[in-house]
A and B are shown apart, each in its own frame.
Chain A
Amino acid sequence: MKKIILLCLFFSSLASHLIFAQTQEELVVKEKMWGDQFEGFQLTKAPEKWKDESVVVLGRTYDYEVRKSALLTYLFEGVYLHERLALQDKAAIEKYSELKTGVAFGRKGLFNYTSMVNEVYVGVKIIKPDGTIRELDTKDAVVKEIESNGQKAEYRSIAIPGLEVGDILDYYFGEKRTSINSLFEKFDTQYIPLASEYPIVSQRINLNIMRRCYLLAKSINGAPELKLSSESDRGEMIYSLVDRDRDKLEYEDYHWVLPRREVPMLKFEAYFTSKKGMKVYPNYAFFLNNKQELKSSLNDEEIVGLVRWGKKYLKKSYLELDKFMAGNYKKETDINVLIEEAYYFFRQNCYRDGFEDAHLHSLNKTFGIVDWAFVAKMSNFFDKRKIKHDFIVTGRRWNTGLDDLTLYDELAFLLRVHTPKPIYLTNFDRFSLYDEFDPGFQGNDAYVINLAGKGSLTKLGEKLPVSSDNSSVSSTVMHVSLSAADMQQMVINENVSMTGGLRSQHIPAIVTPYEYINDCKNEKYDTPLLLDAAKNNKAKRELEKGIAAKINEDNHDRLTAVEQLIKDEFGLKNDFDIDSVRVVSSGLWSESPALKYSVDYRINEFVNKVGPNYLLEIGKLMGGQIAIDDKEVKNRNLDVYFPFARAYENEISIAIPDGYEVNGIEGLACDFSNEYCEFQSSAKLASNKLVFKTKKAYKTNFMEAEHWNDLLDMLNAATKISEQKVLLKKI
């Protein structure tokens, strides 16, 4: 059933025809792909050094093109992948003896299927060790289809016949997406990594750009430069990159990796527009200069231009905010109060308004505001209030570094307010707190934008602030007793407090929508509840029924979510009983920024009867520890990007049952610390209770690969304690 649902979900996002072209065009593509004389396609053997690899990519080309039909108003975007693979073991045969095209293939990502019509081209050749070449007739492929509302999409599954170890599989897969030429067309941004799970002898990326197209592209993380390789009579410009002898890079299962920061890749995006289109989409237009010319950097004027335009464009759109502030904080002089109140007004305005209706009726509603609009609005307000501030521009942490910023969508804007301790304001989500700096920017390099005169960008002398592990703390106080009826059952009351990034991660699952709605200070912001707006008593009664039902469902969903959370956290193998979940503080406001909740549950694991005694797996109550696979332990050479610095603290208090004494608490002590992380634990007996305390901290949000072992040492220390047991010995 899962499959069907996938199918439906997929189709709902598929506003296109996907057709298999048995056309002249297919022949043209075929001739072009098979006729490509790229060096990798001439190879028949993998280098000796890679003889033990499952697959070696002898040659790979990735050709991208944007074209416009000469007379008609169609735009074509094409992606053509051609690979020549040496298949060196049975696993390779197993993997490559089936190919899926179109929908199934596309889902993994050549295109996102947002346009009108796609055509798919595919070709397969098998080269036997004796040099015999056999080309597959792809018309034999199984054609599958999806249709709805008069639209139809097809895709194919191709079984590759006669494939054996030692063969070379040479195949291409191309897609052409057609759209009607609109005023402004921005094609999807592509990130093409040069390193993959198999080593590559030789690879090439070609970007083929027609007249009236703009190309923004940059090689990053040590990828070879893209160069103009040819210019055709028809006005096409082809930019090319060739890369050789690329070792495999396995990082799919690694922890804390940001590939766009480290993996050699080419990123690019193409635009097709006219002067008129530029006027309609001026925010993009700042970054599009010379048609067909490769643009690999951003300059000061472009960014200054965007910010100035944004401020001008939104010069009146802060009036609502201004009215609120004038009404409530007219005489307020504390700059911190003014900024905070403005921030929360915006947050309410962008997320709370309309939320109840959307939640109650499961409406798909867009909430939020884009980065440049947020800073522009806020800046205009600050200008009016004469609050001094700077615009900061940087990238998102998971994206490319500052020097590699090239594309409009990579830009993120922040405001820095000139208070004694500078305040950084970033765009928010439903739960963001004014005084918590978004971890997605922490430690980034950034530019300050000077809007005076001609305007300019100055690189910040220091990185954007990084919060310490004290800012994101998960603190758990756990009261544990062994059930009188069954000594092997633990009765647990758990009180959790979370701040910072950890709070942000957990709050959507813990705070129910109606708890959020009720804690939103609706009166202050004059945000009506749906019930207040009900037209008559009957409508009100209906609404009350609906709200009561929804709250009931939300509570049930939360109980299920927390149950799963606990099960995963402890790695429980058995089902367990969860009795209640209660939010103590939703942590929605700066005055009480911690998310606090309490859970009561009973588990039937971790107390083992050994002879007359009980072995208590007390270490397990710390929660699950990260297990790093041997492959990553041994081979990791990529830097470590933690989401943010953070600490996990536990205070576990276990009531010792009458008639028993505790042995082995000395094994619970640990004191490990280095520059990047720490793990501390201790245990003591007090008032017939065993109190076990632990603290595990990641002190930073970034660590160079060379310090990988420092982290492993801490994880090992924590794991060792998590495996510790104490003995409840019968007296």
Chain B
Amino acid sequence: MMKRLLFISLLLVLYSYDVNAQKIDENYELATKMTSDYPKDEAVILNSTTEISFDASGNGNVYALEKTSEEIMSLRMSAHISRFVFYNSYSEITNSRLEDKKGRRIIHSPVCGNYEQDDLFHSDVKVCSYSNKLDLIGDILHFEYTKKYSDLKYLSRQYFTEPMPVQNRTITLLIPDWLESDILLVNEENYQIEKTSEKLPNKGLTKITYHAVNLKGYKAENNSLGMQRSYPHLLILNKKVNLDKSNQDLLSDMNDKYAWYKKLINGLDADYSEIEPLVKELTAGAETDLQKVERIFYWVQDNIKYLAFEDGIAAFRPDEAHLVLAKRYGDCKGMANLTKAMLKEAGFDARLSWLGTNSINYDYSLPTLAVDNHQICTVFLDGKTYFLDPTEKFVGISSLAERIQGKPVMIENGDHCLLDTIPVLPSEHNQEQYKITFSLDEDRLTGIYHARYDGNSMLDLFRYLNSNEKSKEVELLEDYLDRGRKNINFSSLTYENLYKRSVPFSIDANLEVESSINAFSDELYIELDPYKEFNFFSIEEERVDDFYIGEKIDLAAEISLQIPAGYQIKHLPDELSLSTDYYTMKCAYELVGKEIKYVKTFRFYKSIIPVEEFEDWNSAIKRLNQFYEDQIILSLNK
């Protein structure tokens, strides 16, 4: 019997050895095949499952557990695999484990610490990094972790994508009968995601499963408004806990959310002793109320430095106005709160207001903190509503930063908030115009330049100047105008209305452009346009995210050239005129008397080019490139 058992054991060992070897070979083949699908990726997640469950402790504290398990396969030799798990003040990683292909635990110390983000001075977001090296193509690494959320308000999103490709991704939510939750699938278009739902009465819960396949790796893209707008994810709305003992304050509707926000600001108690004299000084001599509001708004913009803090509850509760004033820095909430306090001191009806900027595209009616990421101050004056965002340096009172335009806003209003929508300003508001009068000077163009900037086009310029040394203003402006082109030289530069927000900024200068004329026997080939805006501005075909231009550009330029004596026109480029719902591009040459007049306009009706427009955009840019490469040909009169 013993012998037989030994024999069977041996057989089993040999069999498993053989199966393992076969599996390794299969993985190698699979990985080799996949390298052509994912040439830039070091590894692929074959299977990823996340199970989210909810429970309550004996004292009624409700929590959620997120258990994730991944099977990762290397696509390169010696692949360095790193997995990152984020957590914050309201969540913790309770368990993690790395295993090799045979299921043996890999001893490993994760590196954990604050997650530094360029645009935040400080946040409570932390990250743990788990790394391991896989020697051969097709090697397998298993990674699993459990994350615990101590406050369900902060369990708001689950993404399907990862930085590396995912073959199979399953997210399961086990929602107990005592919890009212809505799960919304966002950005599912263009992805294969299936949902199943089943009620498990014996367990007292509902099991909802989402399954996605063949997901490309998430890639940080330039000019992106963030992954929330494009990548598929679940929005989890935990609305209500029906347990006797529970003290969890969830948000079942917008009123709940407002009440929660209001509770946070009700505790504020501004000390006006420093605010009062400042407001008095600023408003002294102002002729109108609007002027007073302007002066206060601009003072905060100019004198309070924006430093973003997102730390626990401080991410939602503004700093006291007098502290922001004393420190001369604050985040959006602190700056809005100081603006409000100063305006109230000056006798205005000013309110704090919450909103999500254009990087968030959720419906505002959703009762989740994920909807808001910004705070501003709203002031009601003479029947008009002004939305003041003091974090936006140099924005005028009648202007609005692009990122808040068209966004729903929740305005502080006693026990019941006001809802409004921030207006969308037309692109004309941002108008940039320039006019150049050129003449030929041997082998170069020389001329007079005049430019005028308004709205957001003016902001960009002011911010650029303001962040550099004051003594170099003219030099900086010349650099700004030549746009990095070495063949363009400005001189005798003068300007008007620097840092004034209510009137356009203008520049006058002399201009020389080298290397723009080519003489071939009795013909001159002239490149009249020194800038060629949007030349080669095509968008990568594989881009996932909408392309964010930053503002609704409105550019109008007129460039003229005096035809030199003895020459006549042999060729002028054909007119270009393109128009879609998103933009208009018009460029045209015409002969007016002895002058060639070249007019071009670019007007964007929206600040983004959405993914579905990329193809049209790229063909428009191709046509624009062709237009730009064409030149004026002048020939000698015979």
Contacts and interface: CB of A to CB of B under 8 A. Distances in A.
A361 B135 contact: yes
B129 A4 contact: yes
A162 B84 CA distance: 38
Contacts of B629: 608-610, 615
A161 B163 CA distance: 38
B525 A556 contact: no
B113 A608 contact: no
A708 B596 CA distance: 42
A604 to B, nearest CB: 10
Contact of B471 (A8, A53, A362): A53
Contact of B78 (A3, A362, A552): A362
A148 B39 contact: no
Nearest to A134: B326
B114 A615 contact: no
Contacts of B518: 615, 664, 667, 725, 727
A157 interface: yes
Contacts of B77: 360, 362, 546, 549-550, 553
B486 A1 contact: no
B630 A609 contact: yes
A93 B535 CA distance: 37
A696 to B, nearest CB: 17
Contacts of A157: 121-122
B111 A8 contact: yes
Given A8-B82, A361-B135, A553-B76, A54 B469 contact: yes
Interface string B23-55: 000001000100100010000000000000000
Interface in B523-547: 525, 535-536, 538
B633 interface: yes
B280 interface: no
Interface string B468-490: 11110000000000000011000
A573 B163 contact: no
A713 interface: no
Contact of A146 (B76, B82, B111, B633): B111
Contacts of A542: 136
Contacts of B121: 98, 142, 157, 159
B78 A361 contact: yes
Contact of A610 (B307, B327, B329, B571): B571
Contacts of A609: 626, 629-630
B342 interface: no
Contacts of A712: none
Contacts of A98: 121, 307
A89 B520 contact: no
Contacts of B535: 573
A94 interface: yes
A610 B630 contact: yes
Contact of B633 (A53, A552, A611, A725): A611
B471 A89 contact: yes
Interface in B295-313: 303, 305, 307, 309, 311
A150 B122 CA distance: 24
Nearest to A557: B76
A146 B466 CA distance: 35
Interface in B456-472: 466-471
B553 to A, nearest CB: 20
B329 A90 contact: no
Contact of B303 (A142, A148, A164, A556): A164
B423 interface: no
A145 B39 CA distance: 36
A85 to B, nearest CB: 14
A148 B82 contact: no
Contacts of A685: none
A4 B220 CA distance: 14
Contact of B109 (A4, A91, A149): A149
A663 B520 contact: yes
Interface in A645-695: 663-664, 667
B137 A549 contact: yes
A727 B525 contact: yes
Interface in A553-588: 553, 556, 573-574
B133 interface: yes
B586 to A, nearest CB: 20
B515 interface: yes
A252 interface: no
B113 A145 contact: yes
Given A159-B307, A574-B538, A664-B520, A611 B113 contact: no
B521 interface: yes
Given A4-B127, A627-B486, A148 B109 contact: yes
B327 A727 contact: no
A722 to B, nearest CB: 10
A91 B305 CA distance: 12
A362 B133 contact: yes
Nearest to B514: A723
B581 to A, nearest CB: 27
Contacts of A1: 84, 163, 220
Interface string A1-45: 101111110011000000000000000000000000000000000
A611 B571 CA distance: 7
Nearest to B323: A161
Contacts of B116: 3, 6-7, 144
Contacts of B78: 360-362
Contacts of A556: 39
B470 A90 contact: yes
Given A550-B77, A729-B520, A11 B117 contact: no
A89 B303 CA distance: 13
Given A161-B328, A729-B520, A54 B470 contact: yes
A473 interface: no
Nearest to B114: A144
B562 interface: no
Contact of B113 (A142, A144, A574, A720): A144
A300 interface: no
A710 to B, nearest CB: 20
Interface in A578-631: 608-611, 615, 627
B631 interface: yes
Contact of B118 (A3, A164, A553, A720): A3
B222 to A, nearest CB: 13
A384 interface: no
Contacts of A610: 525, 571, 629-631, 633
Nearest to A631: B475
A3 B39 CA distance: 24
B131 interface: yes
A340 B518 CA distance: 55
B630 A8 contact: no
B115 interface: yes
Interface string B121-149: 11000010101010111000000000000
Interface of A: 1, 3-8, 11-12, 52-54, 88-91, 93-94, 97-98, 142, 144-150, 157, 159, 161-164, 360-362, 542, 545-546, 549-550, 552-553, 556, 573-574, 608-611, 615, 627, 663-664, 667, 719-720, 723, 725, 727, 729
Among all A-B residue pairs, the 9 with the closest Cβ atoms: A362-B78, A146-B113, A161-B327, A608-B629, A149-B109, A89-B470, A573-B536, A52-B471, A144-B114
25 contacts: A3-B118, A7-B127, A8-B82, A52-B471, A91-B466, A94-B305, A94-B466, A94-B467, A97-B305, A97-B328, A148-B110, A150-B109, A161-B327, A162-B327, A545-B136, A608-B630, A609-B629, A610-B525, A610-B631, A611-B570, A611-B630, A615-B631, A627-B486, A664-B519, A725-B525
Given A97-B307, A142-B309, 5 more contacts: A4-B115, A91-B466, A144-B122, A163-B328, A727-B520
Interface of B: 28, 32, 35, 39, 76-78, 80, 82, 84, 109-118, 121-122, 127, 129, 131, 133, 135-137, 163, 220, 303, 305, 307, 309, 311, 326-329, 466-471, 486-487, 515, 518-521, 525, 535-536, 538, 570-571, 626, 629-631, 633
